[in-house]
Amino acid sequence: MTTDRRTVLADAALDVLAREGMRGLTHRAVDRAADLPPGTTSAYYRTRQALLTALVRRLVALDQAELRQAGEAPPPRDVEELVAGLAAFTERRLTGDGRQRSLARYACAVESARHPELREILVPRENAARTALRDFLAARGATDAEGRTLTLLACVDGLVFDRLLGGGGVLEEEIRGLVEAALR
């Protein structure tokens, strides 16, 4: 557990946003969530926009750490391993802390439509997991492996979004269909 005050506040802001939505994200709510004295959040992040920017930066850092770790795992040997890996990743995005981060991520994505500075932070980045997926598709003869990688990841993201709103888990058959489409 981190003791860096800015990180503690950004993590608390993520929790507040996931629980309360964008309207519930206030300095006072973050103070309460972090169990800190009133005014602490505003001392570190004077404006709501500064707080939101810190939250988005923290969200991206957590996501990149997760994707880096996923990319450091041995690459999938076949379609079945890739499907299982994507299904497990999707399930993590729908449960526990992953669910909270997913809810916050989508709220921030919508907010970034009005705030280009947030959009710049949220822009998808190259990472080890994306590279491993692209290499897997290319090794199996997929034309335009980069484009198909981006499409597959967008489809998985859409599946997460759908399940967050509609409930239910991810069926490996859905993921399998997406992977097979990327390989065609």
21-73 pLDDT, tens digit each: 999 999 999 999 999 999 999 999 999 999 999 999 999 999 989 888 888 88
Phi and psi at residue 2, in whole multiples of 5°? -80, 150
**Long-range pairs for 156-163: beta carbons < 8 A, 24 or more residues apart:** 156/86, 156/89, 156/90, 159/90, 160/90, 160/93, 160/94, 160/102, 161/102, 161/106, 163/90, 163/94
What is the length of the chain? 184
Taking only the tens place, the pLDDT of each residue in 128-151 is 888 999 999 999 998 999 999 999
pLDDT given for residue 2 in this prediction:
62
Tokens of residue 51, six digits: 């707080």
Instruction: Say yes or no to pLDDT of 14 above 60.
Output: yes
CATH 1.10.357.10 fits 57-183, yes or no: yes
Cα 175 to its chain centre, rounded Å, is 18
Q: Are 159 and 174 in contact (CB under 8 A)?
A: yes
Instruction: Say yes or no to pLDDT of 1 above 60.
Output: no
pLDDT given for residue 128 in this prediction:
85
Average pLDDT over residues 6-20: 97
Domain ranges of the chain: 57-183
Q: Are 178 and 148 in contact (CB under 8 A)?
A: no
**What is the value of pTM for the model shown?**
0.88
Taking only the tens place, the pLDDT of each residue in 93-118 is 999 999 999 999 999 999 999 999 99
Taking only the tens place, the pLDDT of each residue in 70-99 is 888 888 999 999 999 999 999 999 999 999
CA dihedral over 23, 27, 29, 30, signed as positive or negative: positive
